[in-house]
A = this chain, B = another copy of it.
Amino acid sequence: METEKSKVEEKLPDKTKHMSEWYDRVLLEAGIIDIRYGVKGFIVYMPYGMMIMKNIIKLYEEELEATGHKPVLFPVVIPEENLKKEAEHITGFESEVFWITHAGKNKLEERLALRPTSETAMYPIYSLWLTSYKDLPFKAYQTVAVYRYETKATRPLLRGREFLWIEAHDVFRTKEEAIRQTLEDKEIFYKVTYEKLGIPFIHVKREEFDKFPGAEDTYAFDTLLPDGKVLQIGTTHYLGQKFSRVFDVKFHDIDGSYKYGEQTCYGIGLSRILASILLIHGDSYGLILPFEIAPIQIVIIPIYKKDYDNEKINRYAREIEEILGEKYRVKLDLSEKTPGEKFYEYDLLGVPYRIEIGKKEVENNVVTIFRRDIRERKTVQLSQLTQYIEITKKEIVEVLRRRAEERLKNSYKGIENLDDLKKHSEEGYSLFEADFCDSEECADELKSITGGFEVRGIFLDKKVEEGSKCIMCGGPAKSRVLIAKAY
């Protein structure tokens, strides 16, 4: 991998203007994923990318467990008969399913689907597990890959045929509890995605015609990428009793009656969240990683000097490595590369702190510490170093979040007609809010006339004014909606 890294010295292109080029180079040069596996839509997580991914997964799993979710693991295969039981669900997924038809030299009696999502794998078993109101609420999640035969162009991490997600599937006694869960799901998403990863998102209710196949209601979390397109990074669905009736997920209630469970499911799009972190926080030097998920949180680089006892520098560097290594993921780079090469490399990898140790630092018992997010050097007393990191490590994600949020806000414009849309999008706006009649026809027409702008969903906290008209047909408006181009 040495040869790839030397390319870094060409500074990366501006990611706002050339997002694709920036992205492709960073993915390979920082060792995130490799797209050369040879099967369309299937990628390889390289070591550095997988380390980041594991840290991201940990944050979401902790939050799910703190809210009463338990881990489970269901098979990757789903019998064709199960997948087909819920009519809307199979209609939505049938064109996207990979089928296993043979094993060894035998043809299977029944085809097996690779899970595109796990409702039809899980709920037949839930029906065996849940028999009494005492078993409820039942909240479970699994962190797995899912498989969808995408016919649209695939893009690494953004749209793949195999992608990683966490899916939570919950069952409740009452509708109220189920609805409350969709709000808790949003809260979990907020705590991790926004607070810990610094990724702002817009929460909307998808239009009827745009719901998850089989859901009563779908709520989605969209984020904004630097090229002005939005990306769905999570969804939560209120399923009501649609699946519980089909799969017989019923329970003996307090009053002795049998009732069908009220269900929700929740998808956290891990691959896309990783992509968002790279694309939204990165700059022309490479990645910028929030402290909590950085595989290397602090790198220590010795700066040797002619006519100096450089072993002193190494000793001092090792001492710092040991002190910081107790609390943080630290790397001391004693390789033969020049300090300049190392600076480039760890900038590219998005390492939050770089500590430079030279003669001056050794003799004064200080360190020079560089923060990747704001690109500022500071001299800190060795005795104050841990404290300095403890205080400033939280600032990093705040800086990243503030930047991202500002870009999102500055991209946002209310519009009253398509001329507004055209004008403002030429000015650089990319997220639009408008009155809408909620019809699929109008949404389709909008997309075709504007070359790709989509109705992304309804703002739940905004009402249309009396007498408002749909931006497309001029008929009575029902909702304030988000309009944007999307991945």
* Residues in chain A within 8 A of chain B (CB atoms): 1-3, 34, 36-39, 42-48, 50-51, 53-54, 70-77, 79, 82, 94-106, 111-112, 114, 121, 124-125, 128-132, 134-135, 140, 142, 145, 147, 149, 151, 162, 164
Contacts and interface: CB of A to CB of B under 8 A. Distances in A.
A168 B76 CA distance: 22
A112 B37 contact: no
A105 B132 CA distance: 41
Contacts of A71: 45, 47, 50-51, 54
Contact of A3 (B36, B37, B94, B132): B132
Given A104-B96, A104-B97, A135 B2 contact: yes
A227 B134 CA distance: 37
Given A36-B125, A77-B162, A134-B2, A100 B103 contact: no
Contacts of A50: 70-73, 142
A311 B437 CA distance: 58
Given A47-B72, A72-B47, A94-B104, A39 B79 contact: yes
Given A2-B132, A2-B134, A145 B70 contact: no
Contact of A99 (B70, B77, B103): B103
Contact of A128 (B2, B34, B94, B125): B34
Q: Which 7 A-B pairs have the closest CB atoms?
A: A47-B70, A103-B149, A45-B73, A42-B75, A99-B102, A95-B104, A50-B71
A151 B44 CA distance: 31
Contacts of A99: 100-103
Contacts of A132: 2-3
Contact of A37 (B51, B105, B125, B149): B125
17 contacts: A2-B132, A3-B131, A36-B128, A38-B79, A38-B82, A39-B112, A44-B75, A45-B71, A46-B129, A47-B140, A48-B70, A53-B73, A76-B145, A99-B100, A101-B102, A103-B149, A106-B149
Contacts of A43: 75
A53 B142 CA distance: 13
Copies in the complex: 2
Given A36-B125, A47-B72, A77 B135 contact: no
Contacts of A105: 94-95
A100 to B, nearest CB: 5
What DSSP secondary structure best describes chain A's contact surface? mixed
B45 A72 contact: yes
Contacts of A96: 103-104
A79 B114 CA distance: 16
A467 to B, nearest CB: 45
A130 B112 CA distance: 37
A272 to B, nearest CB: 16
A39 B111 CA distance: 11
A62 to B, nearest CB: 12
Most chain B CB inside 10 Å of its own CB: which residue of A43, A73, A99, A124: A73
A271 B281 CA distance: 39
A24 to B, nearest CB: 15
Nearest to A112: B39
A315 B36 CA distance: 60
A94 B121 CA distance: 27
A69 to B, nearest CB: 9
A2 B132 CA distance: 8
Nearest to A103: B149
Most chain B CB inside 10 Å of its own CB: which residue of A70, A132, A151: A70
Contact of A135 (B1, B100, B121): B1
Contact of A100 (B46, B73, B98, B121): B98
A268 B84 CA distance: 36
A114 B134 contact: no
A10 to B, nearest CB: 19
Contacts of A36: 125, 128
A134 B77 CA distance: 41
Given A2-B135, A95-B104, 5 more contacts: A38-B124, A77-B162, A96-B103, A99-B101, A103-B149
A1 B162 contact: no
A289 to B, nearest CB: 16
Nearest to A54: B71
Contacts of A125: 34, 36-37, 44
A74 B44 contact: yes
A434 B129 CA distance: 49
A140 B50 CA distance: 11
A95 B97 CA distance: 24
Contact of A2 (B73, B75, B131): B131
